[in-house]
Amino acid sequence: MRILLVDDEVEFTESLSEILTREGYEVDVAGNGTLGLQLAQQKVYDLLVLDWMMPQLSGLSLCQQLRDRGSVAPILFLTAKDTIDDRVVGLDAGADDYLVKPFELRELLARVRALLRRAVEQIPTPAPANLSQKLKVDDLELDRDNQLAYRNNRAIELSEKETQLLEYFMQYPGQLLVHEQIYQQLWAEDAPPSSNVLAALVRLLRRKIEQKGEIPLIHTVYGKGYRFGIIER
C-alpha cells in the first residue's frame, strides 16, 4: 500500500515515515502542499495523510484540488486545528478522517488501517462481459492464446503483459477500471510496480491498437483509471 505524507515539520515526517515504513507501507514525503499536489498527480496512492497548515499550498486547498480533479484516494488530516467548525470544514472539503495533534500513535495506525481497508472494500468488482477464448469489442478482436489482436484486417503482436491488460479491458467494455483493480489483476502475485509502469504499458498498447485514423479505444479517466471501447459522442 502506498501512502503520501504531506507535512512541513521535518522531524515529524521523518519519524512518522519511518514508523509507517516499518508497518509495511510504501511512503513518499512532501514538505509542502505544492510538492504534495505534484506527487499526487504523478503517482497512485492508496492513502494521503495531510497537514492542514503548510506553506505555498495548505492541506485544505490540496484536498479540495485533488477532489476537484477526480481523486478518490482516502485523505486523513493531521492538524492542530481542533474546533468542531474546523473538522466540519475539513470533512466538507473532501477529507475522509480527521485526527488532532498531538495524537496517540496507536490511534493513528488504527485509522490508517481502517481507511485503507475501507478503500479496498469500495472497489467494485464488475461482472465479465465475455469469457470465451476470443474476445471482441467494437472492431477489435483478441486471440489470448496466441497473444495476437486484430483490427482493420491487420494482426497486432502483443507482449504477455499487453495481452493481459487488453484482455482485462475487453472483459469490461465501457466500465471504469480503477488503477487498484488493474494492479490486482496484472500483478496479484508480485510486488506492485510504480504507477508509471502501468502508464507506460497503456501507452505501448495504445500505439499498437490505435493507429492513425482509427477511433481511440483506451480512454484515461483522470486520477482514477481507464475505460475501454468506442465512446459515442
Phi, psi of 197 (to 5 degrees): -65, -45
pLDDT of 206 reads 94
Nearest to 171 by CA among 203, 136, 147, 145: 136
Q: Which is more confident, 118 or 63?
A: 63
What would the pLDDT profile of 73-127 be if each residue is shown by its tens digit?
Answer: 899 998 887 777 877 888 888 888 888 888 888 999 998 988 888 766 655 555 5
Q: Which of 10-24, 93-107, 183-197 has the lowest mean pLDDT?
A: 183-197
pLDDT of 1 reads 80
CA 31 to mean position of chain CA atoms: 21
pTM of the full structure: 0.54
What would the pLDDT profile of 21-60 be if each residue is shown by its tens digit?
Answer: 988 889 999 999 999 999 988 888 889 999 988 878 898 9
In the predicted model, what is the mean pLDDT of the chain?
Answer: 85
- Are the beta carbons of 9 and 51 closer than 8 angstroms? yes
Non-local (6+) Cβ contacts of 195 within 8 A are 42, 43, 44, 179
Given CATH 3.40.50.2300, say whether it is the number of domain 2-121.
Answer: yes
What is the second-level CATH architecture of the domain 134-228? Orthogonal Bundle (1.10)
19 pLDDT above the threshold of 70:
yes
Non-local (6+) Cβ contacts of 83 within 8 A are none
Q: Which three cell numbers stand for residue 82?
A: 481542533
CA dihedral 79, 83, 86, 92 (to 10 degrees): 110
Is residue 51 classed exposed, middle or buried when 0-12, 13-18 and 19+ CB atoms within 10 A define those classes? buried
pLDDT of 212 reads 87
The ranges assigned to domains in the chain are 2-121, 134-228
pLDDT of 191 reads 63
Non-local (6+) Cβ contacts of 130 within 8 A are 136, 170, 171
Q: Which is more confident, 191 or 103?
A: 103
Q: Please report, rounded to a whole number, the percentage of residues in the chain having pLDDT higher than 90.
A: 34
pLDDT of 189 reads 65
How far lies 160's CA from each of 67, 129, 144, 178, 205, in Å?
A: 35, 21, 9, 21, 11
Question: What is the distance between the alpha carbons of residues 56 and 46, in angstroms, rounded to a whole number?
Answer: 24
**Beta strands 97-100 and 75-79: pairing type?**
parallel
Q: Which three cell numbers stand for residue 147?
A: 497473444
Phi, psi of 72 (to 5 degrees): -115, 5
